[in-house]
A = this chain, B = another copy of it.
């Protein structure tokens, strides 16, 4: 047996879906999970329960792994450097990962690379936020703690200096950004190998509701080919220049200049499989999870092209209706082509507990099918 062992730190749905993608590869897959009940821990054969913030736990987990990768970006960089010093292969490595762990570091580096971003700088206190607002076109401005935020957490919209106190309470540096007047949100997802091979998925539209990804449409409807190519090229450049290994999601704002010229600005980076890439499981020749594994194993990457004209992914959020399995009957009978992906997580209001995917030639129909299933599973509609 010469098949490698991949260790993934984290037991969430990304680890769960990476396991699913790893089974056909014949590799050994193990996870470091916070609890035995975590999403991935329910379905993975080789589970270590432990705290990723503890270096001894990480060292014990890494023993016997050919490569370590991640379901989240929260492992302290110092621990990853210690693992590398032990000879552990960590992909993406800490030098790349710090750009996804610290939004200040990310903004500085992207500026050096000439990558278009919203106007931004680190701010010291509420009075400094007001000075920043003066530089960036006025209030409202967006405030983000540089570490620890996701899905709208760690992000505030300040409409005045009185609004700007909250973010400073966490004791983490605060980044201020202009509130971009965007047309819509896009994501450019790429996967890169250690030897430098890279693939780019079609650029998708990501529809956000209350700061949480709601629907992803692949490819982004009506996106000019030139802008699509520019977004893919930008993501490939970021992956190369930051030394990313594995999946990189570049969340983008599509904007229009005063003269109507379309453009893009980078919103966020994620160095792991990403919600904006879940459509690839059913909609692309090779899923983001399979390509992430191929990349961290330094195997040749798989075809990223779409298999259908349109693929739509809708997140299933927890609602007041806890029994999602009972909803399968109606959803599956209504739409035999529906693809359901549940994560084994307890239903809590607003929590992402699964997603659904649909594909076909008629975008309106494909969107309606995904929307219906997500709403029915959540319990917001009952027919």
Q: Which A residues contact B (CB, under 8 angstroms)?
A: 1-4, 16-17, 19-20, 23-26, 28-29, 41-45, 47, 281, 285-286, 294, 299-303, 307, 322-326, 328-329, 332-333, 336-344, 346, 354
Q: How far is the CB of A294 from chain B (nearest CB, A)?
A: 7
> Residue of B at shortest CB range from A356?
B24
Q: A19 vs B341: C-alpha distance in the bound complex, in angstroms?
A: 14
Contact indicator A286/B26 (Cβ below 8 Å): no
> Residue of B at shortest CB range from A342?
B26
Contact indicator B26/A19 (Cβ below 8 Å): no
Hey, which chain B residues are within 8 Å of A16, CB to CB? 23
Contact indicator B332/A302 (Cβ below 8 Å): yes
Cβ-neighbour of A44 out of B24, B45, B303, B333 (below 8 A): B45
Please list 6 pairs of residues, one from A and one from B, whose beta carbons are closer than 8 Å in the complex, sorted by A's number. A2-B325, A28-B42, A43-B44, A299-B329, A302-B337, A303-B337
Q: How many copies does the complex hold?
A: 2
Contact indicator B24/A19 (Cβ below 8 Å): no
> Residue of B at shortest CB range from A301?
B336
> Residue of B at shortest CB range from A24?
B341
Q: How far is the CB of A24 from chain B (nearest CB, A)?
A: 4
Contact indicator B326/A2 (Cβ below 8 Å): yes
Cβ-neighbour of A299 out of B44, B281, B294, B332 (below 8 A): B332
Hey, which chain B residues are within 8 Å of A2, CB to CB? 322-323, 325-326
Contact indicator A23/B26 (Cβ below 8 Å): no
Q: How far is the CB of A146 from chain B (nearest CB, A)?
A: 35
Hey, which chain B residues are within 8 Å of A47, CB to CB? 45
Contact indicator A43/B25 (Cβ below 8 Å): no
Contact indicator A340/B24 (Cβ below 8 Å): yes
Q: A337 vs B284: C-alpha distance in the bound complex, in angstroms?
A: 10
Q: A24 vs B16: C-alpha distance in the bound complex, in angstroms?
A: 9
Hey, which chain B residues are within 8 Å of A285, CB to CB? 336-337
Contact indicator B24/A286 (Cβ below 8 Å): no
Asked, given contacts A299-B332, A300-B333, A332-B294, whether A23 binds B1 with beta carbons under 8 Å apart, the answer is: no
Q: A323 vs B342: C-alpha distance in the bound complex, in angstroms?
A: 35
Interface-central residue, A16, A47, A322, A336, by most chain B CB under 10 Å: A336
Q: A26-B342, A299-B328 are in contact. List 5 more A-B contacts (CB 8 A).
A: A26-B324, A26-B344, A29-B43, A43-B45, A294-B332
Q: A326 vs B2: C-alpha distance in the bound complex, in angstroms?
A: 8
Contact indicator A26/B302 (Cβ below 8 Å): no
Q: How far is the CB of A143 from chain B (nearest CB, A)?
A: 37
Hey, which chain B residues are within 8 Å of A286, CB to CB? 336
> Residue of B at shortest CB range from A28?
B42
> Residue of B at shortest CB range from A21?
B20
Hey, which chain B residues are within 8 Å of A324, CB to CB? 26
Q: A344 vs B23: C-alpha distance in the bound complex, in angstroms?
A: 9
> Residue of B at shortest CB range from A344?
B26
Q: A2 vs B326: C-alpha distance in the bound complex, in angstroms?
A: 8
Q: A17 vs B1: C-alpha distance in the bound complex, in angstroms?
A: 20
Contact indicator B344/A3 (Cβ below 8 Å): yes
Q: A300 vs B327: C-alpha distance in the bound complex, in angstroms?
A: 11
Hey, which chain B residues are within 8 Å of A28, CB to CB? 42
Contact indicator A26/B333 (Cβ below 8 Å): no
Q: A214 vs B340: C-alpha distance in the bound complex, in angstroms?
A: 32
> Residue of B at shortest CB range from A281?
B24
Hey, which chain B residues are within 8 Å of A17, CB to CB? 23
Q: A324 vs B307: C-alpha distance in the bound complex, in angstroms?
A: 28
Hey, which chain B residues are within 8 Å of A294, CB to CB? 332
Q: A339 vs B41: C-alpha distance in the bound complex, in angstroms?
A: 26
8 closest cross-chain pairs (CB), A and B: A26-B342, A300-B332, A300-B333, A24-B341, A303-B336, A303-B337, A20-B23, A3-B325
